[in-house]
Structure 1
């Protein structure tokens, strides 16, 4: 039987729609709605000339004809429905205004979800590892099915949905939309329902900035990805994470199939759907039938946290019935995303790594653990999120021979933890930090950028920070005559 994917009107009873936020996500949502003849208004707080310049930079994604733009504070603009992008928070006053007017407020990812017919939506959420896992899932599925990655770090879902459907070949299998979903994309009232939802882990992050200091609110935002799953859907849960593990009973009670993932066979028990590691081998269990997939040493990813990501990815694709031999081959050819324990160079016996995506203490600690007992010089720092630093500082104290601190965290880290981190030194710039680290590094040591912080005090993004770090390393090595440097 041939599957016929299609786009359908996501708001069939609505003619006038206002979208809050005229960035890439808002433009994609507007273009999707214009396909169905909606009257669309984009609102944006930027000045007209600034916004026009920003829209020009979105090429080749061009704003569809007929979209009105409202400059100034977000407003309702006579709409019958509102689409919110992740630039708007559920606590913003305009959300309450729309709800008081009894207008539906629909997150952009839900809009895209509503527009899809004959498509499998597979979503990945969690605190750390989302992007690596999402890219790996896309790689695994794409080797055997028609698939496209969207959401969060990728093409917005409302832009990915039309591309996926229009590029789908005829065949017996539904195309797969692999989507990375952040906590900011699913407000408590959302209606986003994937057929498969996988959660990597939950650790404290963004709690002070965006969740009013409530860890429980942050956890609820992470759990939201699984909140609309129903009988016949699949949830993939990392049961090594105590928070994620605790969601299983409620899901099972709703008839959701739960796939357990773990670094140990003991943790998954005799559960009929599981992916786990046993004596270094990654194994699957489906309807009670076990099968070996691959040995962990064949996977081009560093550290146990990336084995966890791989287990989650395998759990997410198992419901699709993919061929295991082809999964095995695809795992060995995967190229991980940049700035995630990315090897930058080996210089005079010193390994240099970029882990700029480690934007919280949990991600930084698991990244450092990937180097085992090797001696480390760690460059840390950035925006101080107000997180509890005790466990991270202890990890640095025990693992690092030297710590170089940049950015907004310097003052707090050195003042509050200076006695516990006697090896910590401040640097005024990333160039200075790299020079300090490489000049002191010994053969067989590792120099790693592992910030444990957001980047916005000194850089445009974590990716910008990573690129600049790699540039600093290249310049320093060149200035020293190159030596025996090799890149990657």
Structure 2
């Protein structure tokens, strides 16, 4: 069970922002004897988490973030990852010298199980899920437990983890900004691209947040890193951990792709065609999972079997089904151009109909033009449909259709399809112009696909 730590007894702690992770952190700190105050912006009447915590005897302040809260002499602030550092209470705490952490730091402090930490711009969730599947295929004692940004609060999973388990923890840059002592036994950096500059302020700050993952690691720990990226090769020279590279471009002293096969240090693990999910980015994700599997002592057969049966993560190039010999894939998680490029890499454009569009963040889509060349058709919706149509015209896509939303896009795409084609939802945009999140957008797509079958 969890380590019995006494560091928080009678300490005044402010938990800022609830949601799943804040609720979990507040409850844990309360159980560890801290004097917890919770502050959340959502009004009390529509805040079940706040109501539950109040019933436990936790002090709860909801509806606004009064700056005078900081006069209460807190010795720690646990911040929800989504709250920016520019928020006045966070700024005030930093000015007063009060440590500001995220709940993954608490998870590390109490966890009996070693942590395998995964970060990166794209592919975090898929790689995290692949790694857990690989480890669970071969572990004779204990289990690999998914935790962190993947939807299971780390501080909650850590409470029940045993020493023989592994906490396979997806870590976002927002979570990593708030770590202090967290030390993974194995860390994975899938890649670093442009993202979240609005939150971090600049690219160097964003890279710095990702790189914090390895700050406490020693020569006894392993850093699995994408060798395709020169920036990560440079950073790799600056870690105390043992570096284990993976690459789809060259033979490295780690995991690599060579002549259509995946290897780890000259041992052939499997053919690239045996990986259960399409797309070149999933080859990188599989290589990272192979590296972790081998470092954890898994057999080649167990690794191969786990990666063969891996069918993807919901909303990330997820195979939805086949209807009249047309395949459907849901990649609603593609909320930027880069993710859509990676998805398009996995398919033959001549047999592909793309569904795209969403929230207008002010950017153009010129970078997608080369990826649109050869597409059979494109069906566009949402605020960015005109901008995407411009890119599709430049790529000479023969059929460009405009429609209302994802639900209406599916029958239009199907009308233009023939046996052997694929219809892919990979929006290249956030969903917030029409849907509360990418999951709901993906669910609507899948419902529309089943409606095709039902309305036959």
**Aligned pairs (5 A) from 1:89-128:** 89-117=84-112, 119-128=113-122
Distance in 2, Cα, partners of 1:113 & 1:365:
35
Distance in 2, Cα, partners of 1:425 & 1:97:
51
TM-score scaled by length of structure 2: 0.91
Asked if the contact 2:102/2:179 (under 8 Å) is kept, the reply is no
Query: Offset at 1:415?
Result: 6.0
User: In the TM superposition, what whole-angstrom CA distance separates every residue of 1:144-176 from its partner, at most 9, and x where no partner exists?
Assistant: 1422110002211001101213xx6xxxxx321
**Aligned pairs (5 A) from 1:268-347:** 268=252, 271=253, 274-285=254-265, 290-347=266-323
**Aligned pairs (5 A) from 1:361-400:** 361-387=337-363, 389-396=365-372, 398-400=373-375
Residue of structure 2 aligned with 1:26, choices 22, 46, 50: 22
**Aligned pairs (5 A) from 1:436-447:** 436-447=412-423
Instruction: Give unpaired runs (5+ residues) of structure 1.
Output: 169-173, 482-488
**Aligned pairs (5 A) from 1:9-158:** 9=5, 11-12=7-8, 15-52=11-48, 65-71=56-62, 72-73=64-65, 75-76=69-70, 77-117=72-112, 119-143=113-137, 144=139, 145-158=142-155
Query: Offset at 1:137?
Result: 0.8
Which residue in 2 is equivalent to 1:402?
377
Distance in 1, Cα, partners of 2:91 & 2:321:
51
Query: Offset at 1:420?
Result: 5.0
Residue of structure 2 aligned with 1:243, choices 226, 231, 235: 231
Residue of structure 2 aligned with 1:187, choices 174, 177, 184: 177
Which residue in 2 is equivalent to 1:485?
none
Distance in 2, Cα, partners of 1:416 & 1:264:
29
Change (3 A) 1:421 1:227: farther
Query: Offset at 1:412?
Result: 3.6
Give RMSD over aligned pairs.
Answer: 2.4
Partner-residue secondary structure (3-state), 1:328: helix
Query: Offset at 1:17?
Result: 0.7
Query: Offset at 1:67?
Result: 1.5
Instruction: Give unpaired runs (5+ residues) of structure 2.
Output: none
User: In the TM superposition, what whole-angstrom CA distance separates every residue of 1:365-403 from its partner, at most 9, and x where no partner exists?
Assistant: 11111113542211111123344632223312x142222
Query: Offset at 1:88?
Result: 1.3
User: In the TM superposition, what whole-angstrom CA distance separates every residue of 1:113-144 from its partner, at most 9, and x where no partner exists?
Assistant: 12224x21101111111111111111111231
Change (3 A) 1:368 1:39: same
Change (3 A) 1:424 1:224: farther
Query: Offset at 1:43?
Result: 0.7
Q: Are 2:212 and 1:224 equivalent residues in the alignment?
A: yes
Query: Offset at 1:419?
Result: 4.8
Distance in 1, Cα, partners of 2:425 & 2:54:
38
Asked if the contact 2:332/2:442 (under 8 Å) is kept, the reply is yes
